[in-house]
Amino acid sequence: MDGQEQVELFRQRTMDVILALRAQYLAMGGNSLTHWDQIAARATGALRTTTTAAQWSSEVLRRLRIAAPSSSLSLAMVALEADVDGRGLSATWRLVMRRELPVVIAEARLEADARQKARKKEMDNA
């Protein structure tokens, strides 16, 4: 896997965790008007204080007050940990995320909007 493929994998796995975090945060009653700001702030803060992807995921959960991850969030967290920490790439992932986390969150936001529009369209066509 070359450097660019690695960066794309890091971005995708991190975005998967963020999307699953968002879903669970909203399901727990998180503010729908400020949830992206909350997630971005907690994810950025956790990146500054952790050294591995697994620690980062756990810290974001703690900061968002999510006591137990859902199955989809658990799967996303385990995939991120396997592809980053399991390959000994934690330091590289942190460097990439320091630079790209705002973009990853923006992409997650666009993906969430696209999914919402697709669900609405399906419901309208049903």
Every domain of the chain and the residues it spans: 3-125
Percentage of the chain modeled with pLDDT above 70: 100
End-to-end C-alpha distance for the chain, whole angstroms: 43
Q: How many residues does the chain have?
A: 126
The mean of the pLDDT values for the chain is 94
* Residue 125: predicted pLDDT: 86
Residue 11 has pLDDT above 80, yes or no: yes
What number of CA atoms fall less than 13 Å from residue 74's CA on the CB side?
A: 5
Check: CB of residue 98 under 8 Å from CB of residue 36. no
DSSP label of 55: H
